[in-house]
Amino acid sequence: MSIADVTREHRKFVVAPIDPSDLVSRAKALLDVPVTAATMPEFVRDVNEVAVDFSELEAGLTRAMDEDTADEVAKAAFLDFVTNHVPELATLRTALERKQLAVSDFVPPPDLANHWADMRVSVELFREENLPLEAEVAALGQAHGEVSGSLRVELDGETLTLGQANAKLESPYRALRERAYHAIEAGREAIRPQLDEIFAKLVPLRKRIARGAGMADFREYAWLQAKRREYTPQDVLAMHESVAKEVVPRLRAVYERRARLLGLERLRPWDLDCDVHGREALAPFASVEELDEGLARMFSALDGELAQAYELLRGGWMDLEPRPTKVPGLGYQNYFPRSQRPYVYWSAVGTDDDLLTMRHEAGHAFHSVLTQSRWPLLAHRSERPEMCELASQAMELLTLPYLGRDKGGFYSQEDAARSQAALLVRALSLLVSASKVDAIQHFVYTHPGEDGPTIEEIDAEWRRLGERFDLGIDMTGFDRLRSKSWHIIHLFHYPFYYIEYAMAYLGALQVWRNAQQDAPRALRQYKAALALGGTLPLDELYEAAGIRFAFDERTVASLSQLAVDALGDEA
């Protein structure tokens, strides 16, 4: 029996009855309120109340749409919101930001200094004429979700979701893995023309948005929009080089050892996720309820405060059952600020990767809850992915000692060691894949063409990057995949959001190294950094966690070697 056979019937999420027109009226009323340095704190609180309801509505509409991509009512409600209401609300938000910044004698308190700097950037980038373009981008994002949600995998007479098919790649039976891989590739190939069409529309829109804001290219625009003040595009391009030099050879060696253990001359793409000693795939849970209960035990063993934070996800604030109409491969944590609840979306099918993903998303939830508990405003929350992903990826590593059943977890000690090795290989692999994904975006968004590169040019550049970051996997017969595996969700929805995963893993490995020396202290520092939200610059938040925000060649080399040394004989 598969996990899909024992999942609960899905209950449709009910979006909070917040009227977007009322949000517009409230924002307009605030524009008429006189503001001085003395009254600024009260004005900031009033602005926050509107922002809280906007975020609650946006999160609810997104959740309703993602939980059932075939729900035409949910899709229409989301599109109405982003097309007919968000542009006006965005204009009003910028007007309110200008109103606050115009009070020249107001000095923001230290905990809002970062927010004030962010507002200046937002005001600098805002152009009313870009709002219709941004609405088009949002609609294309919805279209991407709908197309991705239609992906089906036909394998051995069964129709599977992507998650269910991916689970077959962990089987000890190589013939099954190969059939599964070919079936997944066939499913992806069926929707690639539609994805190409969507992306070919997205790139010119983004270039027009950048030009409209007075930027040389979309990369410059995205850099400012992401509030990246600590590093430049050139710094990141240097990071790509460091990863190619220091991580790729180490990971190639890991894969060469995997091939020897499997008795293979060379790995094929369906040989990367199975156990190197021929054991059955890890199966930590058989139902979503079992996953939930085991996570609650693990977090209770780790830390009482984090266990209480996890309780806020229970009772309807997680959607983990796999369903055909969910977006395949999509997992995220969102925050409902009026409800004061984190929410996690994923499709769990019973694998070790599901368990890892849930620890990751729980880390995001803990970040939300710890910040909420300390600070009163949404402006205090961190929106920097480099910090948000540190919260999630460090939690993946901090929970490693609690994977065993004797600590409340899911595994025997032998299987816990397997799970740890899989995570460390994943971290190394992500350093490489994040560099590739980031590099293709530098190519796309600095391209001199009026509408950017053609799809064929993107495919060719992706193949070139595959050679640059080659890990020695035999991809014979998969020319289309070698050209098209840039079709990941981030490029469609979150441009230039991916390298942060690599940066954060470098931070998370430092947290893990600290925990190996003094686990209670490392956990205290981790929690303290999360509770700071976005009240400090990024490098100071990392310092609060007891680590450095760094991705130079020496740091990349030492931390990738730390991961390799901890693999033992399990990878």
Q: 187-209: per-residue pLDDT in tens?
A: 999 999 999 999 999 999 999 99
- 341-345, strands of its sheet edge to edge: 318-319, 341-345, 332-336
Ranking 156-165, 354-363, 395-404 by mean pLDDT, the lowest is 156-165
25 C-beta neighbours (distance < 10 Å), count: 12
Percent of the chain with pLDDT over 90: 93
| Confidence (pLDDT) at 150 | 87
Instruction: Work out whether strand 153-155 and strand 158-160 pair parallel, antiparallel, or are unpaired.
Output: antiparallel
- For residue 271, count CB atoms less than 10 angstroms from its CB and return exposed for 0-12, middle for 13-18, buried for 19 or more: buried
SS3 48: helix
User: Rounded to 5 degrees, what are φ and ψ at 376?
Assistant: -90, -15
Strands 341-345 and 332-336: antiparallel
Average pLDDT, the chain: 95
CA distance 299 to 408: 9
Element holding 324 (H helix, E strand): none
Cα angle: 23, vertex 28, 30; to 5 degrees: 100
Closest among 424, 470, 483 to 244, alpha carbons compared: 470
Averaged pLDDT for residues 520-524: 98
Q: Would you state the pLDDT for residue 161? A: 87
Alpha carbon distance 27, 54 (integer Å): 11
pLDDT of residue 324: 87
Its pTM stands at 0.93
For residues 87-97, average pLDDT: 95
pLDDT for position 1? 40
Does position 553 have pLDDT exceeding 50, yes or no?
yes
Long-range contacts, 379-383 (Cβ 8 Å, 24+): 379/44, 379/48, 379/112, 379/115, 379/534, 380/111, 380/112, 380/115, 380/533, 380/534, 380/535, 381/335, 381/533, 381/534, 382/532, 382/533, 382/534, 382/541, 383/118, 383/227, 383/534
Task: Grade residue 9 by pLDDT with cuts at 50, 70 and 90.
Answer: low
